[in-house]
Structure 1
C-alpha cells in the first residue's frame, strides 16, 4: 500500500536523525564521565575510548527505544498537523490500522534490542569490568606516573618519581614511603632504574638516604647509600574474582533464583517489553493541539518515557532487595502499561467521550383557584 510505504520511509528518516542525535549526546556525556573516572584511577587513561564504546553499546537498547518512540510521535504529530490524518480517517480507517505499518517498520529494531539486551549488554559490562580489574591489579612500576604520588597495589607503599628521560625504566628524584607491619620507612634518591634479577623486578636507587622508624617509638635511624635495591610488585594476572550480575549471561541468570540475578533479568526483559509498549503508547498519545503547540505534546510524551524507565530502574532495585517478586513486577509494570496504552488507543480510535449525566429537576408550581 502506497500510504504504508510512505509512512515507513518517513519513519526511517526520523528514526535515523533521532538516533544520531541521541547517540552523540550519550557519547559526549559518557566520555566526560569516563574521563572523570580515569582521572580518579578507576580506568587506564589510554582505555578511555574503549570504555566509552562499551558503555555506549550497553546503553543502545535505551537509545533505540527512545529513538523509535520519538520517531513515531514526530511523524504522527506531523500528519495531524498537515491534516493527513483527516484524510486517513475520512477513508474509513482508524488509529488501530496504523499499527500494521508501524510494526512492520519497528520489528527489525525490536530484534536488535533483544540481541543487545540479552547478549551484547552482559558482554559489554564484562569487558568494562575486565579493564577496571586489570588496571587495579597492575604492578608498582605501571602505577608510577611522573610528578604524581601513586600507591602500590597492596597499599603499603607510596611512590614518587620525577621523570625527565624518555626511558620509562629510568627516573630522577625518587621518593618511596613504606609502611610494613610496625616499621615505617622513607627512602629518597637522586636517580633510579629498573633491573630484573631472577624472576623479580627491583627498583635500584643511587645516591640517596633512608629514614626508618618503628611505630610507637621515638627512635629513628637515618642511613645514606650509594646503591640500594627495592623489590617492586609485578602485575597480578589472576582472573577477576568480582563478577557483578550485569556481566553475567542471560542463561546464567535464568539458572539461579538469586534475587540479585532476577533483578538484572527483569531489567533486560523490561528493555524489550518497554520498546514494544512504546509503539502502542506512541500511537495513542500522538496528536496536535493548536492552542498549546507541538512542543507540549512531545514534552508530555517525554515525561511518559522518563517515568516508564524510572519505574524500570526502581523495580530492578525492588526485585534485588526482595521487596517485590519477579513475575508480579513484570506483569504489573509492563502489563499495566500495555493495557493503559490499548485503552487510550481504543478511546481515541472510537472517539469515546466520558459524559456525566445531568439531572435537571423542573419545579412546577400549581396555582390553586382563588
Structure 2
C-alpha cells in the first residue's frame, strides 16, 4: 500500500508537469493559427478566446493520452536510473507488480478520455462550427471594420464604411466597389441595413446614394441616384446550418444513421480510450534503461511508437471513410497488435536470463570481442542478467 500511494503521488506529479507543458505548446500553436484567421477576416476578433477554449476541449483526449503515457514512462525510467528497480528485483518482486497501481490511475484517466472523446469533443466541434457559421452568415458589409477597406470572400466586392451600429445591422457612409459582367460599379450611400426576404435571402438595402457604372472616359458610363438600392449578400442555399461535419455530430447520430464518413469518425472516437490504456501499460516495460546510460534514446523510441500508433489509426479511419474496410474490421486489429506487443515486452523484461535478452546478447558479443575465457563469459552474462 505504501508503494502504491507513493507511485500514484509520483504519477500525479509527473502528469501535472507533462500536461502543463503539452497544453501550453498546443495553446500557443492554436493561438497563432486563430489569430492568423482573424487577421485574414475568416473569423471575428471577438471570437478568438471562445475558439481557443473549444479547440482545447477538442484536443484534450490526445493530450491526456500523451500525458498518461509519458508520465508512466518517466516514473519507471527514474526508478531504473536511481537503482530502485535493482532493490525491487532483489526483493523477489516482479515487474508485473507495477500493473495494478498503474491501472488504478490509468482506468480513471481512460474513462475521462472516453467521455471527452465521445461527448465533449463533438460538442466543442459543434460550437466551433456554429461560431464560424454565425460569422459567415453575417453580411460582408458588417464584417468591415470602420475606416478600413475589406474584400469579400469571393473577391468580387471591396467595401468601406465610416461607422457601424452597435448591433452590426446598420452602417453609415458606405462605399462599395463591385465587378458586374466585366464592368466596374461603384456605389456610395449614406446608410445601409440588412433585410431578409421571404425566401431567406439576405440583402443590404442602401438609402440616399449614387451608383456609377463603368469609367467616366467611356461612352457607356452611367450614373444614377437612388433612394433605396438592394445588393444580394447571401442566398439561403449557402446558409444551410444543418450541414454539419462528422466531427460535430453527437454519438447517437453516428450510431443511428451510419455512413462511411460517420463510421470513420466513430472509429476515431472509440479507439482513443483503448489506445490510451494500452499505451500506459506498454510504458511499464518500455521504461527500462541502463542506470549508466541516459534515457534520451528510450524516450525517442517511446514517442515514435505513439506517433506510429496515431498514424495507423488515421490510416484505418481513412480506409473506413473511403469504404475500403468496414468499421468492425478496422476497430480491433491495432489494439490487439499493441496488446500483443505489450505482452512481448513484459516477457522480454521478465526473462532476464534468456539467451535472447539484450544483456545476454551484449555479454556474448563482449566475450567474443575481447576473447575471454568461456567461464569468464558465462560469469559475466550471469552477472549482467542478474
Using structure 2 for the length normalisation, give the TM-score.
0.80
Query: Shift in Å at residue 163 of structure 1?
Result: 2.3
Deviation at 1:248, TM superposition (A): 1.2
Unaligned stretches of 5+ residues in structure 1: 358-370
C-alpha contact 2:142 2:164 (8 A) present in aligned 1 = no
Please report how far the alpha carbon of residue 336 of structure 1 lies from its aligned counterpart in structure 2 after TM superposition: 0.5
Report how far residue 2 of structure 1 moved: 0.6
Q: What CA distance in whole angstroms lies between the structure 2 residues aligned with 1:80 and 1:156?
A: 62
Matches within 5 A, 1:247-262: 247-262=248-263
Task: State the Cα distance separating 1:313 from its structure 2 match.
Answer: 1.3
In structure 2, the residue matched to 1:67 is 67
Q: Could you say if the C-alpha distance between residues 11 and 223 of structure 1 is closer, same or farther in structure 2, counting changes exceeding 3 Å?
A: same
Partner residue, 1:361: none
Q: 1:82 Cα shift?
A: 0.7
**Higher mean displacement: 343-352 or 70-79:** 343-352
Shift of 1:324: 2.5
Say if 1:76 and 1:283, in contact at 8 Å, map to a contact too: yes
Does the 8 A contact of 1:15 with 1:68 survive in 2? Answer: yes
Counterparts in 2 of 1:1-370, with a 5 A limit? 1-145=1-145, 146-151=147-152, 158-163=157-162, 169-172=170-173, 174-177=175-178, 179=180, 184=183, 186-189=185-188, 192-194=190-192, 202-206=205-209, 208=210, 210-211=212-213, 220-223=220-223, 225=225, 228-232=227-231, 240-290=241-291, 292-351=293-352, 352-354=354-356
For the 8 Å contact 1:176–1:186, the answer to whether it is kept is yes
Kept after mapping to 1: 8 A contact 2:142/2:171? no
Check whether the contact 1:19–1:63 (CA below 8 A) recurs between aligned residues.
yes
Aligned CA distance change for structure 1 residues 84 and 313 (closer, same or farther; 3 Å) = same
Tell me by how many angstroms 1:222 deviates: 2.2
Residue 173 (structure 1) shift: 6.7
Cα distance in 1 for partners of 2:196, 2:333 equals: 64
On the 8 A contact 2:171/2:193 being kept in 1, the answer is: no
**In 1, Cα distance between the equivalents of 2:29 and 2:195?**
46
Structure 2 stretches lacking a partner, 5+ long: 198-202, 365-386
Decide whether the 8 Å contact of 2:174 with 2:191 is kept in 1.
no
Distance 1:302 1:183, change over 3 A: closer
1:42 alignment partner, SS class: coil
- CA distance in 1 between counterparts of 2:194 and 2:19 reads 53
Indicate conservation of the 8 Å contact 1:183/1:212, yes or no: no
Residue by residue over 1:277-299, the C-alpha shift from the partner in whole angstroms, topping out at 9 and shown as x without a partner, is: 11121002002235641111111
In 2, are the aligned partners of 1:144 and 1:159 still within 8 Å (CA)? no
State the distance in 1 between where 2:152 and 2:31 align. Answer: 26
Distance 1:314 1:134, change over 3 A: same
Aligned counterparts of 2:328 and 2:165: Cα–Cα separation in 1: 60
On the 8 A contact 1:141/1:232 being kept in 2, the answer is no
Query: 2 CA distance for matches of 1:69 and 1:120?
Result: 22
**CA deviation digits over 1:152-171, x for unaligned, max 9?**
7xx59614215278887454
CA shift for structure 1 position 134: 1.6
Question: What is the number of equivalent residue pairs in this alignment?
Answer: 346
Distance 1:247 1:170, change over 3 A: closer
Question: Measured at CA, do residues 292 and 228 of structure 1 come closer, stay the same or move farther in structure 2, by a change above 3 Å?
Answer: farther
Check 1:211–1:333 CA distance in 2 against 1; reply closer, same or farther (3 A cut).
same
- Distance, in Å, in 2 between the alignment partners of 1:162 and 1:85 is 71
Aligned mates of 2:196, 2:251 — CA distance in 1: 45
From the superposition, tell whether residues 258 and 166 of structure 1 become closer, same or farther in structure 2 (CA, over 3 Å): closer
Cα distance in 1 for residues equivalent to 2:20 and 2:51: 20
